[in-house]
Structure 1
């Protein structure tokens, strides 16, 4: 039995996984969707990037989880990648869902040169938070109007410090057993950093014909990929 720990990307909390969790549990596994500090029902809790890393590690250690399949979507790939290193032999596999990945000393915005100034300016203008996207921003991502409405409804401002603070890695990320899920409506190929990691014998690539939020657009298909990763 695998223990799935599920961490959504920017603006979202545990409820982003509402349609994925039942599929994992029906297959006989346990699922632990996690809300990071400062988001969703945890709004108001101060958070930097290392806070988010510790949120993940604390959940795994508090529940004494073993055979952990640690899943990070979008922004959350950065704290998830760091947490995966820190939980040692509790980790079975890490799954990056169309996500950023951490680089030692790098941040979310430093890995996004074309958007860095925009994000930093938006954080400064909104009291230290990155405001959620609007419904129009989700067009072209394989989502129905109802799915877009659900994402927008679940979104809360994202703590800006988590996006600008540097990651800390103690070993090469390519040494971890990992699956990278590339969502094709958000770009045909992974970025250069991920492409380099995929040359590792420990990493594998899976493609989904959907957009950047597959837990909403194709939850059953995503669950099947996660279950396959647990058996990898």
Structure 2
């Protein structure tokens, strides 16, 4: 049995995987959605990027999970990519869902120069937190009005230190067995750093014709892709 550990991106918690988890469990596998420190039901817990890495590693060790497919969406690809190399032989595969990926010594913001000023301005106005998106920001991402209401209603401010701390990698990310799911409504091509990783033998690209939040817009199709990725492990 494969154990899927599911980590959503900025502003979200374990609740974001509500429609994906039953699909994974119905196929006979374990599904463990995780809320990172400082978000959702863990609001108020101080958090930097390495806190989030430890959240993931600690949960896998606490539950003594083996044959782990570690799934990171959006921002969470950065802590997930670091956690993947720290759990050793517990790891079966990493799946990056339209996500950022870690680079040693680089932060989320240093890898996103075009958005840095906007995020830093939001953090300055919100006590060090990145304020959640508004409903209008989700237009064109394949979401229904009801799904947008769910996302906006459940989102919580994202702790800024997780965005500014550098990633720490002990070995090249390309050595990990990985699947990258590119959501096409959020851009037809992967980012340059991801494209380079995909040239390696251990990384595989899969495309999904939806927006950046497929756990809401296409949860069943996303679950099928996760299950398919596990079969490659």
Shorter-chain-normalised TM-score: which range? over 0.9
CA displacement, residues 171-219 of structure 1 (integer Å, 9 cap, x when unaligned): 0000000000000000000011000000110000000000000000000
Deviation at 1:117, TM superposition (A): 1.2
Q: Following superposition of structure 1 onto structure 2, how do residues 29-178 of structure 1 map, counting pairs within 5 Å?
A: 29-178=29-178
Q: Could you say which residue in structure 2 is the equivalent of 1:226? A: 226
Deviation at 1:100, TM superposition (A): 0.2
TM-score by length of 2: 0.99
TM-score by length of 1: 1.00
Deviation at 1:122, TM superposition (A): 1.1
Separation of aligned partners in 2, 1:105 and 1:220: 36
Q: Could you say which residue in structure 2 is the equivalent of 1:199? A: 199
Q: Following superposition of structure 1 onto structure 2, how do residues 3-22 of structure 1 map, counting pairs within 5 Å?
A: 3-22=3-22
Aligned length: 232
Separation of aligned partners in 1, 2:153 and 2:230: 31
Separation of aligned partners in 1, 2:230 and 2:63: 19
Deviation at 1:124, TM superposition (A): 1.4
CA displacement, residues 90-120 of structure 1 (integer Å, 9 cap, x when unaligned): 0000000000000000011111111111111
Deviation at 1:222, TM superposition (A): 0.1
- 120-129 or 83-92, larger mean C-alpha shift: 120-129
Separation of aligned partners in 2, 1:193 and 1:83: 19
CA displacement, residues 8-54 of structure 1 (integer Å, 9 cap, x when unaligned): 00000000000000000000000000000000000000000000000
Separation of aligned partners in 1, 2:123 and 2:160: 6
**Could you say what the CA RMSD is over the residues aligned between the two structures, in angstroms?**
0.4
Separation of aligned partners in 2, 1:56 and 1:122: 27
- Structure 2 residue runs of 5 or longer lacking an equivalent are none
SS of the residue aligned with 1:115? Answer: helix
Separation of aligned partners in 2, 1:93 and 1:151: 28
- Structure 1 residue runs of 5 or longer lacking an equivalent are none
Deviation at 1:153, TM superposition (A): 1.1
Separation of aligned partners in 2, 1:6 and 1:153: 20
Matched, 1:24 2:27: no
Deviation at 1:229, TM superposition (A): 0.6
